[in-house]
Amino acid sequence: MSSLKETESLLFELITAPEGVAQALRESGRSASDLARMIVGDSRLSSVGRLDIYANMYFYRILDVLKADFPSVLSALGEADFHNLVTDYLLAFPSSHPSLRNVGAQLPAFLLTRTPAWLADLARLEWTRHDLFDGTDDELLTLATLQAIAPEQFAELPLKMVRAARLIELEFSVDDYGSAAGESVEKSAAATEPYRQSKTVLVWRQGTHVSHRALDPFEIRAAQLIVSGARFGYVCDLAVESYSLEEAPTRAFQLLSRLVNEQLLIA
Amino acid sequence: MVLKLPNIGHGIGLRTDHYSVVMDESPSVDWFEVISENFMVEGGNPRRVLRKVRMNYPVVLHGVSLSLGSTDPLNLQYLTELRTLAREIEPVWISDHLCWSSLGGKYGHDLLPLPYTEEALAHVVERVARVQDFLGRQILVENVSSYMSFHASTMSEWEFLAALAERADCGLLLDVNNIFVSAHNHDFDAQKYLDGIPCGRVGQIHLAGHSTEGELLLDTHDHPAPDGVWALYRAAVQRFGSISTLIEWDDHIPPFEVVRAESAKAAKIESEILSASAPKQATR
């Protein structure tokens, strides 16, 4: 008689096998009769058929979650190729977290081995958006708070990015692609294929909605400063480096105002 | 020790499709059950919704990933996050399933049945006791629907549950639909199942719909509860009396009013049965 551990080990191996229970039994040198000695079958359904119910549920439950988490990757690949991708992905990266929410965490890395090359970037953008949806809440810096600050004190204003924000480096123009850019899946199907273009994209949650946008060179350096926790004075210094002396103050305050409006700064 | 949980009436499983109705209209519902894992996140809309709902209703945490029957070590990270959520939300109780869903650190995200053996019983009893110690409260353990059973089993599922409740001093969440589905799939008598469950251990009842796949029934929670499940619920009320009861609906989710009507139907049935006759004094 098998121990509980042996029973669970065999069943988990068979349920998570990509080609179904019967094939997995053959590949492991076992037979349907071996399984029938463990699991009760009857005239309605054999032991293999009964275990196959669980095998199908395992795969399709995860497939459905990944379809929801990566709608643009799904749209780019189509149903059949996405199905095959998930089959291969689960072999390489079986789910290692109790929550289905995290089952797609390694898909962007897995896609680095696949073509087209931009799929990995697209998946990374979609995963980041998914991940930040329920990221940590922070108390936000508001325009009212800014308005209460004396002009001479602005340089000392500490700036800190909300925790539900992330800067990601992309090699392709996937931030404009299909539903990753907020378009419907139907519209994204007709989207132009992403091209090679290095970008730094800011992804963040604003209320209940996750947004992203590519940053210009000044914003990239400012965002990097703010992520590490800088005073507004440093952003002003950066503006002086990036723009003319006349233009720099306006640029620095425009950026501050935009970041506050986009709910990107902590109070 | 016996189970000491309040009867909080007739509730509904909170689902994202109904967030706006529940948040904006505060509908008349006794309580909500939420899937623990959906709210074991840092923040954002899920936690915002849960906090708001908790301000207006009693809430119960119902988990799917505790993997009480797994031979893996208990996932302490998971338990810590669950305890943190419980401390914030103060649920009326916490429940999970009599099943295993993980092995070797990998998760199958399903509710896999156990062989009902003394070995499995001792294993689950020990884990339930450790979980209860960690959480500082009794938990409810739910019977799952199943499509396979084991030649190695030396006791029935209800005998296993009864022994588990007694030895681990936990409560039971009796899913009437799961009993109905498993009774069909494994050819046992659902009434005999109910009769084998000790009355003082049942803290909650689940009701749901299922679907047919070939000659078996699948626990899909995508239909109203069918007549057979309602009939079994009547039998459950006759045996256990008034127990907190919840409608689960997880797929093809209808408008909130449809789910609430199912909950009202359960309340009406309970009321009819209890007013017709006092609950039978069951033997343990």
- Dump pLDDT digits (tens) for A84-111: 999 999 999 999 999 999 999 999 999 9
Burial class from Cβ neighbours inside 10 Å (0-12, 13-18, 19+) for residue B20 reads exposed
Among residues 83-102 of chain B, which lie with CB inside 8 Å of chain A? 100, 102
Select from A40, A57, A97 the Cβ nearest to the Cβ of B149. A40
Instruction: Name beta bridge partners: B205.
Output: B174, B245
Per-residue model confidence (pLDDT) at position B278: 60
The CA-based angle B197-B124-B203, given to 5 degrees, is: 40
Instruction: Please state the domain extents for chain A.
Output: 4-109, 143-261
Nearest-by-CA chain A residue for B72: A5
Helical segments of A134-216, H only: 143-147, 185-189
The pLDDT score that the predictor gives to residue A185 is: 52
Residue B5 located in a structural domain:
no
pLDDT digits (tens, 9 = 90+) for A167-195: 999 999 999 887 665 555 555 555 678 99
| Domain assignment of residue B179, yes or no | yes
**Mapping DSSP to helix (H, G, I), strand (E, B) and coil, where does residue A232 land?**
helix
> What stretches of B170-255 show up as alpha helix (H) in DSSP?
176-186, 190-196, 227-240
How many angstroms away from the CA of A144 is the closest CA of chain B? 23
Domains in chain B: how many in total?
1
CA distance B154 to A244: 83
Residues 197-226 of A with CB under 8 A from B: 205, 208
What is the reported pLDDT for B3? 82
Residue B196, domain member (yes or no): yes
- Using CB atoms, pick whichever of A5, A51, A135 lies closest to residue B148: A51
Residue B41's pLDDT is what? Answer: 94
B31 domain-assigned: yes
Nearest by CB to A96, which of B44, B69, B105?
Answer: B105
Q: How far apart are CA B182 and CA B146, in angstroms?
A: 6
Look up the domain containing B144 and give its range. Answer: 10-276
Mean pLDDT across the stretch A143-154? 93
What CATH number does the domain containing B29 carry? 3.20.20.150
What's the token pair of residue A68?
A: 């929801």
Which long-range contacts does B72-80 make (Cβ < 8 Å, 24+ apart)? B72/B102, B72/B103, B72/B104, B72/B105, B74/B127, B74/B130, B74/B131, B75/A98, B75/B102, B78/A98, B78/B40, B79/B131, B79/B134, B79/B135
Taking domain A143-261, whether its CATH number is 3.90.930 is answered by yes
Size of interface A-B (CB pairs under 8 A): 130
Residue B4 lies in a domain: no
Tokens 């008034």 map to which residue?
Answer: B242
Tell me which chain A residues have a C-beta less than 8 angstroms from the C-beta of B107. Answer: 94-98
Residue A114 forms contact with B (CB below 8 Å): no
Contacts (Cβ under 8 Å, ≥6 apart) of A79: none
Within the 131-160 window of chain A, which residues sit less than 8 Å (CB to CB) from chain B?
A: 132-137
Single out the residue of B208, B137, B197, B153 nearest to residue B172, CA to CA. B197
Q: Between A16, A37, A135, which is nearest B108 by CB?
A: A16
ipTM surpassing 0.85, yes or no? Answer: yes
Contact list in A for residue B121 (CB cut-off 8 A) is: none
**Using 50, 70 and 90 to split pLDDT, how confident is the model at A125?**
very high
Contacts 24+ apart (CB under 8 A), A61-66: A61/A100, A61/B109, A61/B110, A62/A86, A62/A90, A62/A95, A62/A100, A62/A103, A62/B109, A65/A100, A65/A103, A65/A104, A66/A103, A66/A104, A66/A107
Alpha-carbon distance of B93 to B34, in angstroms, equals 11
B65, B110, B150 member nearest A58 (Cβ): B110
pLDDT digit string (tens) for chain B, length 284 residues: 578 899 999 999 999 999 999 999 999 999 999 999 999 999 999 999 999 999 999 999 999 999 999 999 999 999 999 999 999 999 999 999 999 999 999 999 999 999 999 999 999 999 999 999 999 999 999 999 999 999 999 999 999 999 999 999 999 999 999 999 999 999 999 999 999 999 999 999 999 999 999 999 999 999 999 999 999 999 999 999 999 999 999 999 999 999 999 999 999 999 999 998 765 555 44
* Residue numbers in B near A211 (CB within 8 A): none
Q: How would DSSP label each residue in chain A?
A: ---HHHHHHHHHHHHT-TT-HHHHHHHTT--HHHHHTTB---SS--HHHHHHHHHHHHHHHHHHHHHHH-HHHHHHH-HHHHHHHHHHHHHHS---SSSGGGTTTTHHHHHTTSSSTHHHHHHHHHHHHHHHHT----PBP-HHHHHTS-GGGGGG-EE-B-SSEEEEEEEE-GGGSGGGGT--HHHHHTPPPP-EEEEEEEEEEETTEEEEEEPPHHHHHHHHHHHT-EEHHHHHHHHHHHS-TTTHHHHHHHHHHHHHHTT-BB-
Which percentage of chain B shows pLDDT scores above 90? 95
Residue B216's DSSP bridge partners are B213
As given in the structure block, the two tokens for residue B144 are 């799952």
Considering only CB atoms, which chain B residues are within 8 Å of A39? Answer: 148-151
| Number of residues in chain B | 284
CB contact under 8 A, A54 and B38: no
- Which of A9, A135, A208 shows the shortest C-beta gap to B42? A135
Chain A, residues 40-99, CB within 8 A of chain B, namely 40, 42, 44-45, 47, 50-51, 53-54, 57-58, 61-62, 94-99
> Is residue A72 within 8 Å of residue A177, measured between CB atoms?
yes
